[in-house]
Amino acid sequence: MKNDTSNAVFSLVLPNVRALRAYEAKEIPCRVKLDANESPYMPANADVVADAMRLVELNRYPDPDASALKKILAGMHGLSPDNLLLGNGSDEIISLLITTFGGPVLYPVPTFSMYGIIARGLGAGCVEVPLDARFDLDVARMKEAISASNPKLIFLASPNNPTGNRFLDERILEICEASSGIVVVDEAYQPFAGGDGFIPRLADFPRMIVLRTLSKIGLAALRLGFMAASPEIVGEVNKIRLPFNINSLSQAAAVCALSKFDGINSAIESIAAGRDRMVAEMAGVNGVTVFPSDANFILFRVGDAPGVYARLLERGILVRNLDSSVGGCLRVTVGRPEENSEFIEALKGAVI
């Protein structure tokens, strides 16, 4: 009986959804959590943020435009609020973009898995183009794929997840020139790369969108991402955004947390410094190949990735096993200095 019911449900599911597997984000018990590219630091004014929560009128719907928050984000990035659209995490914006523009959706691989998962879920075609040997964009192959498939959307995560590197600016610009569709530069990790990224270039490329998130800079619990683009693009995507997608608690907490950006900036700086130290130390561990990183995480190859992953976990250290997407590789998020040191010590013992 039970099987009959689940078969009946399965056969009702759209074929493109049926073929998917859910994104794995399960909680694995550990002592040192270095698997999800989060910040190890709470905002310095976490107590003030808690006070701000008391002012939220829980009986009222949120501000559908999140005006106060948009004003702050616009000011931080030299934009007008009309250039911004907020999402429940940048994940939601990826979904809104594919819903708005459709496919084919083109992206290099390996990259952030949600582009493919969301595109397939929405029935959009996917075109995947391998990165070159240095994990940078293979412009010749990308251009060939653009001519062959004429993608509506191209996603370029720079710095890229899981490889950690920024793509060369001129390569991103070449892709923008070659495409007649929308190019999304996903800058989830840009704060750790230094510089302003592509937001200042939006004026030169009317079909470019820059994605950002607050998740990596100490506010992952709020689920807040935003896209910066022309008011025309924002207006189109806004047609399918659900009216109250950013809840009042997240709006109030973000407004309050971002008012103390100095604290957030110093956390970003210490994470970037910790990353550089870790890369140098990991390079000295026998049996480990470490890849350069502009992000708050590091990709490294160990050969027996499942074995090393398991041995690190035995010592309470959780990293991300990428063996199925980047053979032999693991990804470690930069934590607090003492967590990083513990990781390095454990890694020495885990690589045999």
Binding site for ligand PMP (CB under 6 A): 37, 89-91, 112, 157, 161, 186, 188, 213, 215, 225
Rank residues 90 and 293 by Cβ distance to ligand PMP and give the closer one: 90
Residue 8 Cβ, how far from ligand PMP at the closest point, in Å?
33
Rank residues 104 and 108 by Cβ distance to ligand PMP and give the closer one: 108
Rank residues 83 and 333 by Cβ distance to ligand PMP and give the closer one: 333
Residue 157 Cβ, how far from ligand PMP at the closest point, in Å?
4
Give the residue at shortest CB distance from ligand PMP.
89
Rank residues 237 and 351 by Cβ distance to ligand PMP and give the closer one: 237
Rank residues 211 and 290 by Cβ distance to ligand PMP and give the closer one: 211
Residue 345 Cβ, how far from ligand PMP at the closest point, in Å?
27
Question: Cβ distance 343 to 32 under 8 Å?
Answer: yes
Residue 16 Cβ, how far from ligand PMP at the closest point, in Å?
22
Residue 12 Cβ, how far from ligand PMP at the closest point, in Å?
29
Rank residues 189 and 350 by Cβ distance to ligand PMP and give the closer one: 189
Rank residues 86 and 350 by Cβ distance to ligand PMP and give the closer one: 86
Residue 92 Cβ, how far from ligand PMP at the closest point, in Å?
7
Q: To 10 degrees, what angle do helices 114-121 and 90-101 make?
A: 40
**Cα–Cα distance, 134 to 118 (Å, whole number):** 27
Rank residues 88 and 342 by Cβ distance to ligand PMP and give the closer one: 88
Please state the three-class secondary structure of the chain as a single string: CHHHHHHHHHHHCCHHHHCCCCCCCCCCCCCEECCCCCCCCCCCCHHHHHHHHHCCCCCCCCCCCCHHHHHHHHHHHCCCHHHEEEECCHHHHHHHHHHHHCCCEEEEECCCCHHHHHHHHCCCCEEEEECCCCCCCCHHHHHHHHHHHCCCEEEEECCCCCCCCCCCHHHHHHHHHHCCCEEEEECCCHHHCCCCCCHHHHHHCCCEEEEEECHHHCCHHHCCEEEECCHHHHHHHHCCCCCCCCCHHHHHHHHHHHCCHHHHHHHHHHHHHHHHHHHHHHHCCCCCEECCCCCCEEEEECCCHHHHHHHHHHCCEECEECCCCCCCEEEEECCCHHHHHHHHHHHHHHCC
Which residue reads 């690190």 in tokens?
312
Rank residues 213 and 321 by Cβ distance to ligand PMP and give the closer one: 213
Residue 97 Cβ, how far from ligand PMP at the closest point, in Å?
12
Tokens for 186? Answer: 């996903």
Tokens for 213? Answer: 């998130």
Residue 215 Cβ, how far from ligand PMP at the closest point, in Å?
3
Residue 162 Cβ, how far from ligand PMP at the closest point, in Å?
8
The bridge status of strand 297-301 relative to strand 329-333 is antiparallel
